[in-house]
A and B are shown apart, each in its own frame.
Chain A
Amino acid sequence: MTAGSAPRSTASSRASRWAVARAPTLLFVAALVVLPLILPNVYYFDVAIRIAINATLAIALNLLIGYTGQISLGHAAFFGLGAYGSAILVAEYHWPPGAALLASAALVGALAYVVARVILRLEGHYLAMATLGLGVIASIALSNEVGLTGGPDGMSVPDFSILGLRVVGEKAWYWVFAATLVAAIVLAGNLVDSPAGRALRALHGSQTAARAVGVEASAFKIRVFVLSATVAAVMGSLYAHYVGFVTPGLAGFPKSVELVTMVVVGGMASIWGSVLGAALFSLAPELLARFEGYETIAFGAILVATMIFLPRGIAPSLGARLWRRDS
Protein backbone atom coordinates (compact mmCIF):
# COMPACT_ATOMS: atom_id res chain seq x y z
CA MET A 1 0.00 0.00 0.00
CA THR A 2 1.37 3.44 -0.91
CA ALA A 3 1.51 6.27 1.57
CA GLY A 4 -0.92 8.32 -0.50
CA SER A 5 -3.75 5.81 -0.25
CA ALA A 6 -3.60 5.53 3.53
CA PRO A 7 -5.70 8.61 4.45
CA ARG A 8 -8.38 7.65 1.94
CA SER A 9 -8.66 4.17 3.38
CA THR A 10 -9.08 5.56 6.91
CA ALA A 11 -11.77 7.94 5.65
CA SER A 12 -13.65 5.13 3.96
CA SER A 13 -13.25 2.86 6.99
CA ARG A 14 -14.65 5.66 9.16
CA ALA A 15 -17.59 5.95 6.77
CA SER A 16 -18.17 2.21 6.84
CA ARG A 17 -17.89 2.16 10.64
CA TRP A 18 -20.55 4.91 10.73
CA ALA A 19 -22.77 2.88 8.39
CA VAL A 20 -22.40 -0.25 10.52
CA ALA A 21 -23.10 1.62 13.73
CA ARG A 22 -26.11 3.37 12.22
CA ALA A 23 -27.39 0.38 10.21
CA PRO A 24 -30.28 -0.52 12.57
CA THR A 25 -31.44 3.11 12.67
CA LEU A 26 -31.21 3.50 8.89
CA LEU A 27 -33.17 0.29 8.35
CA PHE A 28 -35.75 1.45 10.87
CA VAL A 29 -36.14 4.81 9.10
CA ALA A 30 -36.55 2.98 5.78
CA ALA A 31 -39.26 0.80 7.34
CA LEU A 32 -41.05 3.89 8.70
CA VAL A 33 -40.98 5.48 5.24
CA VAL A 34 -42.36 2.37 3.54
CA LEU A 35 -44.95 1.57 6.21
CA PRO A 36 -47.63 4.12 5.09
CA LEU A 37 -47.69 2.41 1.68
CA ILE A 38 -48.70 -0.86 3.33
CA LEU A 39 -51.12 0.35 6.01
CA PRO A 40 -54.64 -0.21 4.61
CA ASN A 41 -56.60 2.45 6.52
CA VAL A 42 -56.47 5.17 9.18
CA TYR A 43 -57.14 2.68 11.97
CA TYR A 44 -53.71 1.14 11.34
CA PHE A 45 -52.16 4.59 11.17
CA ASP A 46 -53.63 5.26 14.59
CA VAL A 47 -52.11 2.04 15.95
CA ALA A 48 -48.71 2.94 14.45
CA ILE A 49 -48.94 6.41 16.01
CA ARG A 50 -49.72 4.99 19.45
CA ILE A 51 -46.75 2.64 19.17
CA ALA A 52 -44.47 5.54 18.19
CA ILE A 53 -45.67 7.70 21.10
CA ASN A 54 -45.24 4.89 23.63
CA ALA A 55 -41.86 3.96 22.19
CA THR A 56 -40.62 7.55 22.53
CA LEU A 57 -41.91 7.72 26.12
CA ALA A 58 -40.36 4.33 26.93
CA ILE A 59 -36.96 5.35 25.54
CA ALA A 60 -36.99 8.50 27.68
CA LEU A 61 -38.05 6.49 30.73
CA ASN A 62 -35.44 3.83 30.03
CA LEU A 63 -32.71 6.48 30.33
CA LEU A 64 -33.88 6.92 33.91
CA ILE A 65 -34.81 3.35 34.87
CA GLY A 66 -32.69 1.07 32.70
CA TYR A 67 -29.53 3.14 32.32
CA THR A 68 -29.34 5.17 35.55
CA GLY A 69 -31.17 2.70 37.78
CA GLN A 70 -33.73 5.15 39.22
CA ILE A 71 -37.35 4.01 39.26
CA SER A 72 -40.25 6.33 38.40
CA LEU A 73 -43.78 5.09 38.92
CA GLY A 74 -45.29 8.47 38.11
CA HIS A 75 -44.00 9.28 34.67
CA ALA A 76 -47.46 9.51 33.11
CA ALA A 77 -47.92 12.63 35.28
CA PHE A 78 -45.41 14.51 33.13
CA PHE A 79 -47.08 13.22 29.96
CA GLY A 80 -50.50 14.29 31.26
CA LEU A 81 -49.29 17.68 32.48
CA GLY A 82 -47.68 18.35 29.10
CA ALA A 83 -50.96 17.42 27.38
CA TYR A 84 -53.04 19.65 29.68
CA GLY A 85 -50.48 22.47 29.45
CA SER A 86 -50.94 22.62 25.69
CA ALA A 87 -54.70 22.06 25.93
CA ILE A 88 -55.22 24.90 28.40
CA LEU A 89 -52.81 27.39 26.81
CA VAL A 90 -54.19 26.86 23.31
CA ALA A 91 -57.92 26.36 24.05
CA GLU A 92 -58.35 28.86 26.91
CA TYR A 93 -55.62 31.42 26.29
CA HIS A 94 -55.37 31.09 22.48
CA TRP A 95 -51.61 30.65 22.44
CA PRO A 96 -50.01 29.43 19.22
CA PRO A 97 -49.64 25.62 19.66
CA GLY A 98 -45.86 25.70 19.09
CA ALA A 99 -45.36 28.25 21.87
CA ALA A 100 -47.75 26.34 24.13
CA LEU A 101 -45.76 23.15 23.57
CA LEU A 102 -42.49 24.85 24.48
CA ALA A 103 -44.01 26.59 27.50
CA SER A 104 -45.56 23.34 28.78
CA ALA A 105 -42.28 21.50 28.30
CA ALA A 106 -40.40 24.23 30.19
CA LEU A 107 -42.95 24.25 33.04
CA VAL A 108 -42.96 20.48 33.37
CA GLY A 109 -39.14 20.47 33.19
CA ALA A 110 -39.01 23.02 36.01
CA LEU A 111 -41.50 21.01 38.06
CA ALA A 112 -39.47 17.84 37.46
CA TYR A 113 -36.34 19.68 38.62
CA VAL A 114 -37.95 20.79 41.88
CA VAL A 115 -39.41 17.34 42.50
CA ALA A 116 -36.15 15.56 41.59
CA ARG A 117 -34.13 17.69 44.00
CA VAL A 118 -36.28 16.38 46.81
CA ILE A 119 -37.11 12.79 45.85
CA LEU A 120 -33.92 11.62 44.16
CA ARG A 121 -32.31 11.60 47.59
CA LEU A 122 -34.51 8.58 48.16
CA GLU A 123 -33.61 5.12 46.95
CA GLY A 124 -35.34 1.86 46.07
CA HIS A 125 -38.86 1.44 47.44
CA TYR A 126 -38.94 4.99 48.84
CA LEU A 127 -38.21 6.49 45.43
CA ALA A 128 -40.89 4.24 43.89
CA MET A 129 -43.41 5.38 46.52
CA ALA A 130 -42.55 9.06 46.11
CA THR A 131 -42.88 9.01 42.31
CA LEU A 132 -46.09 7.00 42.61
CA GLY A 133 -47.47 9.65 44.96
CA LEU A 134 -46.46 12.37 42.51
CA GLY A 135 -48.42 10.66 39.72
CA VAL A 136 -51.50 10.23 41.87
CA ILE A 137 -51.41 13.87 42.99
CA ALA A 138 -51.13 15.05 39.37
CA SER A 139 -54.14 13.05 38.19
CA ILE A 140 -56.23 14.12 41.21
CA ALA A 141 -55.33 17.76 40.55
CA LEU A 142 -56.33 17.41 36.89
CA SER A 143 -59.67 15.85 37.93
CA ASN A 144 -60.48 18.47 40.56
CA GLU A 145 -59.44 21.72 38.89
CA VAL A 146 -62.73 21.69 36.96
CA GLY A 147 -62.56 25.38 36.04
CA LEU A 148 -59.25 24.97 34.28
CA THR A 149 -59.24 21.36 33.06
CA GLY A 150 -62.90 20.48 32.67
CA GLY A 151 -62.51 17.92 35.45
CA PRO A 152 -63.11 14.21 34.87
CA ASP A 153 -64.98 14.99 31.63
CA GLY A 154 -61.78 16.29 30.09
CA MET A 155 -61.47 19.10 27.56
CA SER A 156 -61.07 19.35 23.82
CA VAL A 157 -57.90 20.62 22.18
CA PRO A 158 -57.70 22.63 18.94
CA ASP A 159 -55.65 21.42 15.97
CA PHE A 160 -51.90 21.78 15.94
CA SER A 161 -50.55 24.36 13.53
CA ILE A 162 -47.16 25.93 13.19
CA LEU A 163 -46.23 28.80 10.84
CA GLY A 164 -49.64 28.52 9.19
CA LEU A 165 -49.16 24.80 8.56
CA ARG A 166 -51.93 22.69 10.11
CA VAL A 167 -51.34 19.08 11.10
CA VAL A 168 -54.65 17.24 10.72
CA GLY A 169 -55.50 13.58 10.36
CA GLU A 170 -53.71 10.33 11.11
CA LYS A 171 -51.66 10.35 7.92
CA ALA A 172 -50.11 13.74 8.67
CA TRP A 173 -49.55 12.97 12.35
CA TYR A 174 -47.87 9.69 11.42
CA TRP A 175 -44.90 11.66 10.06
CA VAL A 176 -44.70 13.85 13.15
CA PHE A 177 -44.56 10.90 15.53
CA ALA A 178 -42.27 8.89 13.26
CA ALA A 179 -39.89 11.87 13.33
CA THR A 180 -40.02 12.25 17.13
CA LEU A 181 -39.36 8.52 17.55
CA VAL A 182 -36.36 8.56 15.22
CA ALA A 183 -35.06 11.65 16.99
CA ALA A 184 -35.44 9.89 20.35
CA ILE A 185 -33.60 6.80 19.10
CA VAL A 186 -30.70 8.83 17.67
CA LEU A 187 -30.40 11.28 20.59
CA ALA A 188 -30.68 8.57 23.24
CA GLY A 189 -28.11 6.48 21.37
CA ASN A 190 -25.73 9.43 21.27
CA LEU A 191 -26.26 10.07 24.97
CA VAL A 192 -25.69 6.48 26.07
CA ASP A 193 -22.42 6.29 24.15
CA SER A 194 -20.84 9.43 25.65
CA PRO A 195 -19.08 10.52 28.85
CA ALA A 196 -22.43 11.65 30.29
CA GLY A 197 -24.11 8.35 29.40
CA ARG A 198 -21.23 6.42 30.88
CA ALA A 199 -21.57 8.40 34.11
CA LEU A 200 -25.30 7.59 34.24
CA ARG A 201 -24.71 3.89 33.65
CA ALA A 202 -21.87 3.86 36.17
CA LEU A 203 -24.24 5.27 38.82
CA HIS A 204 -26.42 2.24 38.19
CA GLY A 205 -23.45 -0.13 38.56
CA SER A 206 -21.59 1.40 41.49
CA GLN A 207 -22.48 4.82 42.80
CA THR A 208 -19.55 4.66 45.24
CA ALA A 209 -17.05 4.13 42.42
CA ALA A 210 -18.64 6.79 40.22
CA ARG A 211 -18.51 9.41 42.97
CA ALA A 212 -14.89 8.54 43.75
CA VAL A 213 -13.87 9.55 40.21
CA GLY A 214 -15.86 12.78 40.40
CA VAL A 215 -19.31 11.92 39.00
CA GLU A 216 -21.73 14.28 40.77
CA ALA A 217 -24.25 11.56 41.58
CA SER A 218 -27.25 13.69 42.55
CA ALA A 219 -26.69 16.25 39.76
CA PHE A 220 -26.67 13.53 37.10
CA LYS A 221 -29.76 11.85 38.53
CA ILE A 222 -31.61 15.17 38.54
CA ARG A 223 -30.54 15.96 34.96
CA VAL A 224 -31.69 12.63 33.54
CA PHE A 225 -34.97 12.86 35.47
CA VAL A 226 -35.64 16.34 34.06
CA LEU A 227 -34.69 15.22 30.55
CA SER A 228 -36.98 12.20 30.75
CA ALA A 229 -39.88 14.26 32.15
CA THR A 230 -39.46 16.98 29.50
CA VAL A 231 -39.60 14.45 26.67
CA ALA A 232 -42.78 13.03 28.24
CA ALA A 233 -44.27 16.55 28.38
CA VAL A 234 -43.49 17.23 24.71
CA MET A 235 -45.06 13.92 23.72
CA GLY A 236 -48.07 14.79 25.90
CA SER A 237 -48.52 18.11 24.10
CA LEU A 238 -48.34 16.50 20.67
CA TYR A 239 -50.67 13.70 21.75
CA ALA A 240 -53.24 16.21 23.03
CA HIS A 241 -53.35 17.92 19.64
CA TYR A 242 -53.43 14.61 17.80
CA VAL A 243 -56.38 13.14 19.72
CA GLY A 244 -58.06 16.51 20.15
CA PHE A 245 -59.29 15.60 23.60
CA VAL A 246 -57.60 15.14 26.98
CA THR A 247 -58.80 13.42 30.17
CA PRO A 248 -57.14 13.05 33.60
CA GLY A 249 -56.58 9.35 32.83
CA LEU A 250 -53.56 10.39 30.72
CA ALA A 251 -51.66 11.18 33.90
CA GLY A 252 -53.00 8.20 35.84
CA PHE A 253 -51.18 5.47 37.67
CA PRO A 254 -52.16 2.71 35.17
CA LYS A 255 -50.48 4.66 32.36
CA SER A 256 -47.31 5.04 34.48
CA VAL A 257 -47.22 1.31 35.19
CA GLU A 258 -47.79 0.57 31.51
CA LEU A 259 -44.74 2.65 30.59
CA VAL A 260 -42.55 0.95 33.21
CA THR A 261 -43.77 -2.44 31.95
CA MET A 262 -42.77 -1.55 28.37
CA VAL A 263 -39.28 -0.63 29.57
CA VAL A 264 -38.83 -3.74 31.72
CA VAL A 265 -40.31 -6.28 29.31
CA GLY A 266 -38.66 -4.73 26.25
CA GLY A 267 -35.33 -4.60 28.01
CA MET A 268 -33.66 -2.44 30.63
CA ALA A 269 -30.84 -0.29 29.23
CA SER A 270 -31.83 -1.13 25.66
CA ILE A 271 -33.18 1.51 23.29
CA TRP A 272 -34.47 -1.03 20.75
CA GLY A 273 -35.90 -2.98 23.64
CA SER A 274 -38.04 0.03 24.51
CA VAL A 275 -39.30 0.23 20.93
CA LEU A 276 -40.11 -3.48 21.05
CA GLY A 277 -41.78 -3.25 24.47
CA ALA A 278 -43.88 -0.29 23.34
CA ALA A 279 -44.91 -2.10 20.14
CA LEU A 280 -45.86 -5.22 22.09
CA PHE A 281 -47.93 -3.47 24.73
CA SER A 282 -49.58 -1.07 22.28
CA LEU A 283 -50.56 -3.92 19.98
CA ALA A 284 -51.57 -6.31 22.76
CA PRO A 285 -54.94 -4.68 23.51
CA GLU A 286 -55.78 -4.80 19.80
CA LEU A 287 -54.62 -8.40 19.33
CA LEU A 288 -56.15 -9.65 22.56
CA ALA A 289 -59.46 -7.86 22.05
CA ARG A 290 -61.08 -11.07 20.76
CA PHE A 291 -60.55 -12.70 24.17
CA GLU A 292 -62.96 -10.13 25.62
CA GLY A 293 -62.63 -10.04 29.38
CA TYR A 294 -59.65 -12.36 29.45
CA GLU A 295 -57.13 -9.97 27.90
CA THR A 296 -55.91 -8.87 31.33
CA ILE A 297 -55.04 -12.49 32.12
CA ALA A 298 -53.20 -12.88 28.81
CA PHE A 299 -51.43 -9.61 29.51
CA GLY A 300 -50.32 -10.85 32.93
CA ALA A 301 -49.24 -14.20 31.46
CA ILE A 302 -46.97 -12.43 28.95
CA LEU A 303 -45.46 -10.39 31.76
CA VAL A 304 -44.81 -13.41 33.99
CA ALA A 305 -43.43 -15.49 31.11
CA THR A 306 -41.02 -12.70 30.14
CA MET A 307 -39.76 -12.33 33.68
CA ILE A 308 -39.20 -16.09 34.01
CA PHE A 309 -37.72 -16.88 30.61
CA LEU A 310 -36.20 -13.55 29.56
CA PRO A 311 -35.37 -11.83 32.86
CA ARG A 312 -33.27 -9.09 31.27
CA GLY A 313 -36.12 -8.16 28.94
CA ILE A 314 -36.83 -9.32 25.42
CA ALA A 315 -34.27 -7.39 23.38
CA PRO A 316 -31.15 -7.93 25.59
CA SER A 317 -31.94 -11.61 26.28
CA LEU A 318 -32.55 -12.48 22.63
CA GLY A 319 -29.58 -10.33 21.58
CA ALA A 320 -27.30 -12.23 23.96
CA ARG A 321 -28.63 -15.55 22.69
CA LEU A 322 -28.01 -14.67 19.03
CA TRP A 323 -24.57 -13.33 19.87
CA ARG A 324 -23.62 -16.60 21.58
CA ARG A 325 -24.73 -18.56 18.52
CA ASP A 326 -22.59 -16.37 16.24
CA SER A 327 -19.39 -16.78 18.23
Chain B
Amino acid sequence: MLRVENLTKSFGGVAAVSQVSFDVDEGAVHAVIGPNGAGKTTLFNLITGVYAPSSGSIRLRGEEVAGMTPESLARRGVSRTFQNLQVSMNLSAIENVMLGAHLRLNSSLLAAMARWRGLAARDRAARREAADLLAFVGCGAYLGAEAHAMPYGALKRLEIARALAAEPKLLFLDEPAAGLNHTETDEIEALIGELGRRGVTVMLVEHDMKLVMNVSQHIVVLDYGKKLAEGTPDEVRRNPDVIAAYLGAESAGA
Protein backbone atom coordinates (compact mmCIF):
# COMPACT_ATOMS: atom_id res chain seq x y z
CA MET B 1 0.00 0.00 0.00
CA LEU B 2 2.94 2.29 0.75
CA ARG B 3 6.29 2.08 -1.00
CA VAL B 4 9.19 4.22 0.18
CA GLU B 5 12.21 4.32 -2.12
CA ASN B 6 15.61 5.92 -1.54
CA LEU B 7 14.03 8.52 0.72
CA THR B 8 16.51 11.19 1.82
CA LYS B 9 16.15 14.32 3.93
CA SER B 10 19.08 16.59 4.68
CA PHE B 11 19.06 19.48 7.12
CA GLY B 12 22.00 21.61 6.03
CA GLY B 13 24.78 19.06 5.61
CA VAL B 14 23.28 16.46 7.91
CA ALA B 15 21.29 13.62 6.35
CA ALA B 16 18.65 12.83 8.98
CA VAL B 17 17.21 10.18 6.69
CA SER B 18 19.40 8.69 3.98
CA GLN B 19 18.43 6.35 1.13
CA VAL B 20 15.73 4.55 3.11
CA SER B 21 13.51 2.08 1.27
CA PHE B 22 10.77 -0.23 2.53
CA ASP B 23 7.25 -1.41 1.79
CA VAL B 24 4.17 -1.29 3.98
CA ASP B 25 1.60 -4.01 3.35
CA GLU B 26 -2.10 -3.47 3.79
CA GLY B 27 -3.70 -4.50 7.08
CA ALA B 28 -0.58 -5.14 9.13
CA VAL B 29 1.14 -3.40 12.03
CA HIS B 30 4.54 -2.06 11.03
CA ALA B 31 7.11 -0.50 13.31
CA VAL B 32 10.13 1.74 12.83
CA ILE B 33 12.68 1.43 15.59
CA GLY B 34 16.18 2.72 16.21
CA PRO B 35 18.30 4.48 18.79
CA ASN B 36 17.62 8.13 19.65
CA GLY B 37 18.37 10.41 16.73
CA ALA B 38 18.15 7.57 14.21
CA GLY B 39 15.70 9.58 12.07
CA LYS B 40 12.46 7.82 12.95
CA THR B 41 10.34 10.91 13.54
CA THR B 42 11.91 12.64 10.52
CA LEU B 43 10.88 9.62 8.44
CA PHE B 44 7.33 9.96 9.79
CA ASN B 45 7.27 13.67 9.12
CA LEU B 46 8.38 13.03 5.53
CA ILE B 47 5.69 10.46 4.87
CA THR B 48 2.92 12.53 6.51
CA GLY B 49 3.83 15.73 4.65
CA VAL B 50 5.27 17.78 7.52
CA TYR B 51 8.63 17.90 5.69
CA ALA B 52 9.30 17.66 1.96
CA PRO B 53 11.96 15.05 1.12
CA SER B 54 15.31 16.14 -0.37
CA SER B 55 15.11 13.20 -2.76
CA GLY B 56 13.49 9.82 -3.14
CA SER B 57 9.95 8.67 -3.68
CA ILE B 58 6.90 7.88 -1.53
CA ARG B 59 4.12 6.02 -3.32
CA LEU B 60 0.72 5.58 -1.73
CA ARG B 61 -1.27 2.97 -3.68
CA GLY B 62 0.86 3.73 -6.71
CA GLU B 63 0.46 7.51 -6.50
CA GLU B 64 3.55 9.65 -5.88
CA VAL B 65 2.83 11.63 -2.71
CA ALA B 66 6.30 12.91 -1.77
CA GLY B 67 6.14 16.63 -0.90
CA MET B 68 2.36 16.78 -0.57
CA THR B 69 0.84 18.87 2.26
CA PRO B 70 -0.57 17.14 5.35
CA GLU B 71 -4.06 18.22 4.21
CA SER B 72 -3.68 16.49 0.82
CA LEU B 73 -2.38 13.34 2.48
CA ALA B 74 -5.27 13.37 4.94
CA ARG B 75 -7.61 13.40 1.94
CA ARG B 76 -5.83 10.28 0.69
CA GLY B 77 -6.47 8.39 3.91
CA VAL B 78 -3.28 9.12 5.87
CA SER B 79 -3.81 9.95 9.53
CA ARG B 80 -1.39 10.33 12.42
CA THR B 81 -0.70 11.07 16.07
CA PHE B 82 2.19 13.14 17.39
CA GLN B 83 5.13 12.40 19.65
CA ASN B 84 4.76 15.77 21.38
CA LEU B 85 1.01 16.13 21.97
CA GLN B 86 -0.94 18.08 19.37
CA VAL B 87 -4.36 18.53 20.93
CA SER B 88 -6.52 21.64 20.61
CA MET B 89 -6.73 22.60 24.28
CA ASN B 90 -9.44 25.19 23.55
CA LEU B 91 -11.81 22.39 22.46
CA SER B 92 -13.57 19.73 24.49
CA ALA B 93 -12.33 16.13 24.35
CA ILE B 94 -15.15 15.03 22.07
CA GLU B 95 -14.72 18.02 19.76
CA ASN B 96 -11.07 17.07 19.28
CA VAL B 97 -12.21 13.64 18.15
CA MET B 98 -14.98 15.09 15.95
CA LEU B 99 -12.31 17.20 14.27
CA GLY B 100 -10.96 13.93 12.90
CA ALA B 101 -14.16 13.57 10.87
CA HIS B 102 -13.62 17.02 9.28
CA LEU B 103 -13.27 15.77 5.70
CA ARG B 104 -16.50 13.77 5.88
CA LEU B 105 -18.57 16.76 7.09
CA ASN B 106 -19.85 19.89 5.35
CA SER B 107 -17.28 22.49 6.38
CA SER B 108 -18.65 25.48 4.46
CA LEU B 109 -18.85 28.65 6.55
CA LEU B 110 -22.02 29.88 4.81
CA ALA B 111 -23.81 26.54 5.18
CA ALA B 112 -22.86 26.52 8.86
CA MET B 113 -24.24 30.03 9.47
CA ALA B 114 -27.49 29.20 7.68
CA ARG B 115 -27.84 25.87 9.55
CA TRP B 116 -28.05 24.11 6.18
CA ARG B 117 -30.41 21.14 6.06
CA GLY B 118 -28.80 18.02 7.46
CA LEU B 119 -25.63 19.78 8.62
CA ALA B 120 -26.59 19.73 12.29
CA ALA B 121 -27.95 16.18 12.05
CA ARG B 122 -24.73 14.90 10.47
CA ASP B 123 -22.74 16.73 13.12
CA ARG B 124 -24.77 15.03 15.84
CA ALA B 125 -24.07 11.66 14.18
CA ALA B 126 -20.36 12.56 14.14
CA ARG B 127 -20.61 13.36 17.85
CA ARG B 128 -22.07 9.90 18.55
CA GLU B 129 -19.31 8.24 16.52
CA ALA B 130 -16.73 10.29 18.38
CA ALA B 131 -18.21 9.20 21.71
CA ASP B 132 -17.88 5.56 20.58
CA LEU B 133 -14.26 6.15 19.56
CA LEU B 134 -13.45 7.78 22.91
CA ALA B 135 -14.85 4.70 24.62
CA PHE B 136 -12.93 2.43 22.22
CA VAL B 137 -9.56 4.01 23.08
CA GLY B 138 -10.39 3.85 26.78
CA CYS B 139 -11.30 7.51 27.29
CA GLY B 140 -14.98 6.88 28.02
CA ALA B 141 -14.59 8.67 31.34
CA TYR B 142 -13.68 11.91 29.54
CA LEU B 143 -16.81 12.14 27.39
CA GLY B 144 -17.82 15.51 28.84
CA ALA B 145 -14.31 16.74 29.64
CA GLU B 146 -12.46 19.76 28.30
CA ALA B 147 -9.17 18.74 26.66
CA HIS B 148 -7.11 21.01 28.93
CA ALA B 149 -8.46 19.21 31.99
CA MET B 150 -7.31 15.75 30.84
CA PRO B 151 -4.19 13.91 32.04
CA TYR B 152 -1.29 13.20 29.69
CA GLY B 153 -2.01 9.50 29.24
CA ALA B 154 -5.63 10.18 28.26
CA LEU B 155 -4.55 12.87 25.76
CA LYS B 156 -2.23 10.36 24.06
CA ARG B 157 -5.26 8.13 23.53
CA LEU B 158 -7.43 11.08 22.54
CA GLU B 159 -5.02 11.63 19.65
CA ILE B 160 -5.53 8.04 18.54
CA ALA B 161 -9.32 8.49 18.67
CA ARG B 162 -9.03 11.66 16.57
CA ALA B 163 -6.86 9.90 14.01
CA LEU B 164 -9.35 7.01 13.85
CA ALA B 165 -12.29 9.41 13.37
CA ALA B 166 -10.74 10.22 9.99
CA GLU B 167 -11.31 6.56 9.04
CA PRO B 168 -7.68 6.27 7.90
CA LYS B 169 -6.38 3.68 5.48
CA LEU B 170 -2.92 4.21 6.89
CA LEU B 171 -2.43 5.24 10.50
CA PHE B 172 0.88 6.60 11.82
CA LEU B 173 1.46 6.47 15.57
CA ASP B 174 4.50 8.47 16.70
CA GLU B 175 5.63 7.08 20.08
CA PRO B 176 2.13 6.31 21.42
CA ALA B 177 3.58 4.93 24.68
CA ALA B 178 6.11 7.72 25.33
CA GLY B 179 5.77 9.02 28.89
CA LEU B 180 3.20 6.40 29.88
CA ASN B 181 3.47 4.06 32.86
CA HIS B 182 3.40 0.24 32.58
CA THR B 183 -0.35 -0.13 32.92
CA GLU B 184 -1.03 2.58 30.36
CA THR B 185 1.55 1.09 27.98
CA ASP B 186 -0.15 -2.31 28.24
CA GLU B 187 -3.46 -0.65 27.41
CA ILE B 188 -1.96 1.08 24.35
CA GLU B 189 -0.45 -2.25 23.29
CA ALA B 190 -3.85 -3.94 23.50
CA LEU B 191 -5.36 -1.03 21.55
CA ILE B 192 -2.83 -1.25 18.70
CA GLY B 193 -3.29 -5.03 18.56
CA GLU B 194 -7.05 -4.46 18.23
CA LEU B 195 -6.53 -1.91 15.44
CA GLY B 196 -4.42 -4.46 13.56
CA ARG B 197 -7.15 -7.08 13.96
CA ARG B 198 -9.72 -4.58 12.65
CA GLY B 199 -7.72 -4.26 9.44
CA VAL B 200 -6.28 -0.76 9.93
CA THR B 201 -2.78 -0.53 8.47
CA VAL B 202 -0.69 0.83 11.31
CA MET B 203 2.81 2.24 11.21
CA LEU B 204 4.42 2.82 14.56
CA VAL B 205 7.48 4.57 15.94
CA GLU B 206 8.17 3.42 19.47
CA HIS B 207 11.00 3.00 21.96
CA ASP B 208 9.25 0.43 24.10
CA MET B 209 10.69 -2.80 22.64
CA LYS B 210 8.27 -5.12 24.38
CA LEU B 211 5.34 -3.24 22.85
CA VAL B 212 6.94 -3.18 19.40
CA MET B 213 7.82 -6.89 19.43
CA ASN B 214 4.35 -7.85 20.66
CA VAL B 215 2.20 -5.90 18.22
CA SER B 216 4.14 -5.59 14.96
CA GLN B 217 4.34 -8.02 12.09
CA HIS B 218 7.11 -6.14 10.34
CA ILE B 219 9.90 -3.95 11.69
CA VAL B 220 12.28 -1.49 10.01
CA VAL B 221 15.40 -0.61 12.00
CA LEU B 222 17.04 2.78 11.43
CA ASP B 223 20.44 3.91 12.65
CA TYR B 224 22.10 7.23 11.80
CA GLY B 225 19.37 7.85 9.21
CA LYS B 226 20.06 4.63 7.30
CA LYS B 227 18.09 1.41 7.19
CA LEU B 228 20.02 -1.12 9.26
CA ALA B 229 17.70 -4.09 8.99
CA GLU B 230 14.12 -5.10 8.40
CA GLY B 231 11.97 -8.16 8.92
CA THR B 232 9.74 -9.92 11.40
CA PRO B 233 10.25 -9.24 15.13
CA ASP B 234 12.20 -12.53 15.44
CA GLU B 235 14.49 -11.76 12.53
CA VAL B 236 15.18 -8.27 13.82
CA ARG B 237 15.81 -9.48 17.36
CA ARG B 238 18.46 -11.94 16.16
CA ASN B 239 20.11 -9.58 13.70
CA PRO B 240 23.72 -8.94 14.88
CA ASP B 241 23.77 -5.41 13.37
CA VAL B 242 20.69 -4.47 15.37
CA ILE B 243 22.14 -5.85 18.58
CA ALA B 244 25.34 -3.95 17.89
CA ALA B 245 23.49 -0.69 17.30
CA TYR B 246 21.51 -1.00 20.52
CA LEU B 247 24.04 -2.58 22.86
CA GLY B 248 27.43 -1.80 21.29
CA ALA B 249 29.60 -3.84 18.89
CA GLU B 250 31.20 -6.08 21.52
CA SER B 251 27.92 -7.50 22.77
CA ALA B 252 27.09 -8.63 19.23
CA GLY B 253 30.18 -10.81 19.11
CA ALA B 254 29.67 -12.25 22.56
Interface presence of A224 (CB below 8 A): yes
Interface presence of A198 (CB below 8 A): yes
Closest Cβ neighbor of A217 among chain B residues: B71
Given known pairs A190-B114, A195-B105, the reply for A214 and B75 (CB within 8 Å) is yes
Q: A223 contacts which chain B residues (CB < 8 A)?
A: 109
Bound-state Cα–Cα, A191 to B106, Å: 12
B-facing residues in A123-182 (Cβ within 8 Å) = none
Bound-state Cα–Cα, A20 to B101, Å: 27
Bound-state Cα–Cα, A112 to B50, Å: 29
Bound-state Cα–Cα, A199 to B105, Å: 11
Which label, helix, strand, loop or mixed, suits the secondary structure of the A interface? helix
Bound-state Cα–Cα, A205 to B91, Å: 8
Query: What string of 1s and 0s marks CB contacts (under 8 Å) between A231-272 and chain B?
Result: 000000000000000000000000000000000000001000
Do B109 and A215 touch (CB < 8 A)?
no
Do A214 and B71 touch (CB < 8 A)?
yes
Do A205 and B89 touch (CB < 8 A)?
yes
Do A212 and B89 touch (CB < 8 A)?
no
A-facing residues in B90-120 (Cβ within 8 Å) = 90-91, 95-96, 98-103, 105-109, 111-115, 119-120
B-facing residues in A179-214 (Cβ within 8 Å) = 187-188, 190-191, 194-199, 201-202, 204-206, 208-214
Bound-state Cα–Cα, A141 to B82, Å: 47
Chain A interface extent, by class = 20 to 34
Interface presence of B69 (CB below 8 A): yes
Bound-state Cα–Cα, A201 to B98, Å: 12
Given known pairs A187-B113, A190-B115, A194-B123, the reply for A215 and B87 (CB within 8 Å) is no
Do A201 and B82 touch (CB < 8 A)?
no
Interface presence of A216 (CB below 8 A): yes
Interface presence of A119 (CB below 8 A): no
Given known pairs A190-B113, A195-B107, the reply for A209 and B102 (CB within 8 Å) is no
Sample 22 A-B pairs with CB under 8 A, ordered by A number.
Answer: A187-B114, A188-B113, A190-B114, A191-B113, A194-B119, A195-B112, A196-B107, A196-B109, A196-B111, A202-B88, A205-B88, A205-B147, A206-B87, A206-B88, A208-B86, A209-B87, A209-B162, A211-B70, A212-B86, A214-B102, A216-B71, A224-B109
With A205-B147, A206-B88 given, can you name 14 additional A-B contacts, CB distance below 8 Å? A190-B114, A191-B109, A191-B113, A195-B105, A195-B112, A196-B107, A197-B112, A198-B99, A204-B90, A206-B86, A211-B69, A214-B74, A215-B71, A215-B107
